[in-house]
Amino acid sequence: MTSNNHPTPSRHQHRQCLTRPSRLLTVLLGLALVTSTAACSNEPVEYFTPPPATDTTVTPGELVEDEPEVLKRPDPRMIAQPIQPSTANELSENGARAFAYYFLEVLNYTAATGNTELLQTISGPECTACQGFIEATTTVEELNQWHLGFHSTYENEPVLLENEGAVFAFDINFHADKYETWNRDGLVKETESLVFNGAIVIYRLGNYWLVEEFGEMSRI
Q: Taking the domains of the chain in order of start, what are their residue ranges? A: 18-33+45-51+58-215
Alpha carbon distances (Å) from 37 to 33, 49, 125, 140, 182: 8, 29, 29, 12, 14
Would you state the pLDDT for residue 73? 87
Q: With contact defined as beta carbons under 8 Å apart, do 118 and 81 qualify?
A: yes
Instruction: State the pLDDT at residue 9.
Output: 41
Q: Label residues 181-198 b or e (16+ Cβ within 10 Å = b).
A: bbbbeeebeebeebebeb
Contact 151, 176 (CB under 8 A): yes
pLDDT of the residue at 8: 39
pLDDT tens per residue, range 96-119: 999 999 999 999 999 999 999 999
Taken in order 84, 181, 78, 136, the sign of the CA dihedral is: positive
Ranges of residues in the chain with a pLDDT under 70 are 1-69, 217-220
Strands 67-71 and 159-164: unpaired
pTM of the full structure: 0.76
* pLDDT score at 32: 42
Q: Which CATH architecture has domain 18-33+45-51+58-215?
A: Roll (3.10)
CA dist 108 → 38, 147, 166, 167, 170 (Å): 24, 10, 26, 24, 20
- The model's pLDDT over 177-213, given as tens digits with 9 standing for 90+, comes to 999 999 999 999 999 999 999 999 999 999 999 999 9
